[in-house]
Amino acid sequence: MRRITLWGLSTLAAVVLLFSYRTSLGSAATASTPPAAAAGSGSGTTSSSTGTGSSTGGTGTGPGDGTASGTTYQGSVAPTRWGDVQVSITVSGGRITAVTVPVYPDANGKDRQINARALPTLVRETIAAQSADIDTVSGATVTSDGYKESLQAALDAAHLNA
């Protein structure tokens, strides 16, 4: 009788633990939301914007677009397994002075967590390298690949093939 009782309680405990397990695919909020990954060389400013949008890619706008100086070029929207990625660069004097990521995967908590870490790293590396020849961020390979694809389209539009 003790064995049956012990077996029943063990099974019940396992079932309770199984049903209380939370996956990362839920829409639970995480501690941090990713920034729009904006950075300027020396300006230290960041802006935050999320959402999904689309662009035909390779478009440029002049200084009258709200930027302090330089011309802004948008890369094409790169579709990835987890969502679209689009990069926008600001070029002044033939150099990339700022990078923003207006479109990136943010459908669930895991996407937001990954991109909160990956996008600022990708932006810093882009400004440092002044090209799309940057390293993939470990743990964010899909987003990194989409980022580099869109970044290359923006660089092509700006005629900055470094």
Q: Residues 83, 104: contact at Cβ < 8 Å?
A: yes
DSSP state of 87: E
Per-residue model confidence as pLDDT tens for the chain (162 residues)? 888 898 888 998 888 888 887 765 444 443 344 455 444 433 333 333 333 333 334 444 444 344 456 899 999 999 999 999 999 999 998 899 999 999 999 989 899 999 999 999 999 999 999 999 999 999 999 999 999 999 999 999 998 865
Query: Mind listing the domains of the chain with CATH numbers?
Result: 34-157 (3.90.1010)
Q: Among residues 36, 41, 50, which one has the least CA distance to residue 120?
A: 36
Q: pTM value?
A: 0.62
SS3 state at 73: strand
